């Protein structure tokens, strides 16, 4: 493990902070979903921006508050937000394998590959298209989500388990399972059918658990972030080319 990501002192953030971020994101997502059913907002661009912000703001806000007010004021020290060249190899491997498993689940659930993926209209390829179709789902979203789910949440669960007498192995296992479960639950909040909930829920749990295992193993978020970017890109890029 890199010395840069070793925690220099016991942080004051933990399970409560992770719970606050999760609940806040859940409430905002459900409120936006309810508003959409009533026809607001009518501007599709505003709707898309809000769909990202209701997740990004509470998750990233919780991470920043936890680090700056209750931690070491360093995303590297608090959450392992660091990258090593080996993380590229690990991340690509985990991302591709998780996407292959997700594809198998899609075929089993929908009868065809990719029906759980993103769909896009006629590409305009302006700055908005670059943000909405590429930057937001492939780069910005994965980094923010890894900071929260594998940085704050997984570390909080592991730390809580250790402080309550659990072994390192038990703490790591709990961090992996809880991170994967919460990650999956957040992704099925607005899913409309049981089949989609099953497919998306299992797919995101598998990926979330794998990313958590990778981050726990290396002590960094670099590999998990690369894996998340790869996992999302393998949905978005084929959809854009289709």
Q: Do residues 57 and 190 touch, judged by C-beta distance below 8 A?
A: no
- Which residues touch 113 (CB under 8 Å, ≥6 apart)? 103, 106, 107
Torsion (CA) 161, 166, 170, 173 in degrees, nearest 10: 0
Q: Do residues 147 and 59 touch, judged by C-beta distance below 8 A?
A: yes
- In 3D space, the residue among 151, 157, 186, 152 whose CA is nearest the CA of residue 170 turns out to be 157
Q: Do residues 239 and 118 touch, judged by C-beta distance below 8 A?
A: yes
User: What is residue 193's DSSP assignment?
Assistant: S
Residue-wise DSSP of 197-214: HHHHHHHHHHHHHHHHHH
Per-residue pLDDT of the chain (242 residues; tens, 9 = 90+): 444 444 445 678 999 999 999 999 999 999 999 999 999 999 989 999 999 999 999 999 999 999 999 999 999 999 999 999 999 999 999 999 999 999 999 999 999 876 444 445 555 667 888 898 889 999 999 999 999 999 999 999 999 999 999 999 999 999 999 999 999 999 999 998 999 999 999 999 999 999 999 999 999 999 999 999 999 999 887 766 65
Tokens representing 51 are 């769909």
State how far Cα 205 lies from the chain centre: 10
Q: Do residues 116 and 191 touch, judged by C-beta distance below 8 A?
A: no
Residue-wise DSSP of 8-25: SS--S--HHHHHHHHHHH
Structure pTM? 0.91
C-alpha angle 62-19-72 in degrees, rounded to nearest 5: 40
Exposed / middle / buried, residue 39 (Cβ in 10 Å: 0-12, 13-18, 19+): exposed
Please give the pLDDT value at position 146: 98
Which residue is it, tokens 């970017």?
A: 229
Which residue is it, tokens 């936890």?
A: 66
Query: Using alpha carbons only, how large is the chain's radius of gyration in Å?
Result: 18
Tokens representing 87 are 């993380």
Query: What residues does each domain of the chain span?
Result: 3-241
Please give the pLDDT value at position 119: 47
């Amino acid at each position: 493990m890199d010395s840069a990501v070793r925690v220099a002192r016991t942080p004051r953030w933990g399970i409560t902070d992770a719970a606050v971020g999760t609940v806040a994101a859940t409430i905002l997502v459900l409120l936006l979903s309810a508003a959409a059913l009533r026809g607001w907002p009518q501007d599709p661009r505003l709707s898309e921006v809000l769909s990202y912000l209701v997740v990004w703001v509470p998750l990233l806000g919780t991470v920043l508050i936890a680090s700056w007010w209750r931690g070491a004021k360093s995303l590297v020290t608090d959450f392992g937000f660091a990258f090593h060249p080996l993380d590229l190899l690990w991340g690509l491997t985990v991302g591709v394998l998780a996407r292959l498993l997700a594809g198998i689940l899609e075929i089993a659930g929908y009868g065809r590959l990719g029906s759980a993926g993103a769909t896009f209209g006629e590409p305009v390829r302006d700055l908005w298209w670059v943000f909405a179709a590429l930057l937001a789902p492939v780069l910005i979203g994965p980094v923010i989500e890894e900071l929260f789910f594998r940085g704050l949440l997984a570390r909080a669960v592991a730390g809580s388990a250790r402080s309550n007498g659990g072994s390192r192995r038990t703490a790591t296992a709990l961090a992996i399972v809880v991170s994967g479960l919460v990650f999956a639950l957040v992704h099925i909040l607005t899913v409309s059918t049981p089949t989609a909930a099953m497919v998306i829920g299992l797919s995101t749990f598998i990926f979330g658990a794998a990313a958590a295992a990778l981050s726990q193993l290396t002590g960094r978020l670099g590999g998990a972030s690369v894996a998340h970017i790869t996992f999302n890109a393998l949905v978005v890029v084929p959809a854009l080319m289709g």
